[in-house]
Chains A and B, each alone.
Chain A
């Protein structure tokens, strides 16, 4: 699973430009699924039959898109101006390597040398509109050969493991995509629809359309979620911590998760010795917000792995958590089969 995660994280997929991620997932899904469809938004909707038919329609969702940049202008000197797609703390942009456009042209978000920074500027952060990407072009004409306006840029894709951790861009939510793919490639206890959504980072826009099409009774959203467990952060604001088990949220800024399913998930984890935690601070949101309110309402739960440095080039997750999230998702499907399934 770790290899799948690294491969998925390496692919560019800024919201609205998820093509490479979708193509990868599609290739693998087609080998084991019963149906694979792409909807008009770009969501990938995959069904697979399990041992049992389910009396209640089950949907699992993970989003393919990641936060990133979009090229808005090219200067006379050949530098690229950009805006942010999704929520990015602009402090993490300074001096970072990026890959621009479908051909992944290497570039750099420039920041003048420290020697040239006057004291009055040391304690400030340039505005995004004052930042620029240097792709090594020496004129607008040269840059235009490499980049088009509206191209997206992703953070450098280098991924590696260190200690108990894995570092990559876009772990939010390629981790969810990884878990869903590996479930798809497993024997399923019950029929299930897997939805790989687009545009989560710009307002859970893909999931809305996908849920409307699938019309599930029960949905499980699989995510990489915000961890802030640093020594400088007060205890409750740490939210959750990598390596301390599957995150089962009861509430975030977008959703109050279904109480029955929340209780079920925590109980399944307890009963099967899967370490779990919940979020100690109400922050963030997921596709659950869109899915829960779609059609006539959907019973919606979430599970996630805790991710440090989320929405940055260096997201960090615990390798063990990946397996644990998969295990709990599988137990959840088993339980759904036992409760609502028939042969």
Chain B
């Protein structure tokens, strides 16, 4: 399977934070042939290891999170479902949107809106409040209570499509696209003699506060880490500083949350090998990614952050550029090769 196909498959597999079982199963299948061992920990992280065969080898952790934003049933109102969000959902995007619940088989529903016919013109100036949103699942109150108990999770009823030869558009590309990049890099490194033991972590619960990686990094106890996460691509309504050029190559994050030496080494490799890249400056102590937790795990980890440009983050139609994914995979390979060199 090529990277695009892997991503399409991962996108349509559902796994909101705390409910990652389905996607973890897919990930385990994909990771097994590329690693020596794969296991799942108590937080649900999938962790694989590819050993280099050297005694007392140093450990490099490659991490991308596999959870996605979503919804969760909190109650009922005359047959309609009341819900809350899992992670950062812009409620303005929800009216007249289909979602699917993580039931077997999946129950689908539609988030309700009001018809323009009964609205005043000024009503459109204010978004619907969360408590005015309901999901219609086409059931009676009694049926819905049985079919969708409180605590049932849901995601956008979407997968991903190829918008054109370069662009993939769909849900959960944050951060499955980065996991696809890791798989691609492992494929490229197949058979190569590596300086370190490579641990690959498909981490859970990032969207609700970097929870899976916090426990996972402690367990792996790495010397180095490369976190792969998506970064905001520029769009007409978002073009401020700190945003990435869509199609402009792999973002390399620079700032206090990233180890300066390791980052500089990666940047040097990008220059030397002519890998398309762009610097993403993150002046804050937390990058808002798993790097936040991994960098200060145990006694500290030399952590780098590669950012894949992505437009419309946390929408069901996130977009990534295949050329950017390719650049990220190439640069990740360089980061793995260089891992032993940095003290």
Contacts and interface: CB of A to CB of B under 8 A. Distances in A.
B114 A108 contact: no
B161 to A, nearest CB: 6
Contact of A110 (B111, B134, B163, B237): B237
A32 to B, nearest CB: 32
Kindly name the residue among B89, B96, B243 whose own CB sees the greatest number of chain A CB atoms within 10 A: B96
A35 interface: no
A186 to B, nearest CB: 28
Interface stretch (B119-127, B179-187, B266-274): B119-127
Interface stretch (A116-124, A189-197, A264-272): A116-124
Interface stretch (A86-94, A173-181, A292-300): A86-94
B109 to A, nearest CB: 6
B17 to A, nearest CB: 15
A70 to B, nearest CB: 18
Contacts of A138: 246-247
Contacts of B89: 114
A228 B316 CA distance: 26
A45 interface: no
Q: Looking at chain A, what size class is its interface with the partner chain?
A: 35 or more
A75 interface: yes
A312 B96 CA distance: 6
B110 A316 contact: yes
A329 interface: no
A137 B116 CA distance: 32
Interface residues of B, number: 62
Given A113-B238, A132-B236, A162 B88 contact: no
A152 to B, nearest CB: 19
Given A230-B112, A311-B116, A92 B169 contact: no
B317 interface: yes
A55 interface: no
Contacts of A113: 90, 232, 238, 312-315
Interface string B90-120: 1011011110000000011111111111110
Given A113-B314, A309-B112, A106 B169 contact: yes
A233 B112 CA distance: 12
A239 interface: yes
A309 B95 CA distance: 9
Nearest to B243: A116
Given A97-B316, A160-B108, 15 more contacts: A77-B236, A89-B113, A94-B90, A95-B90, A111-B315, A114-B88, A116-B243, A165-B110, A228-B117, A233-B114, A233-B118, A239-B115, A239-B117, A308-B112, A309-B113
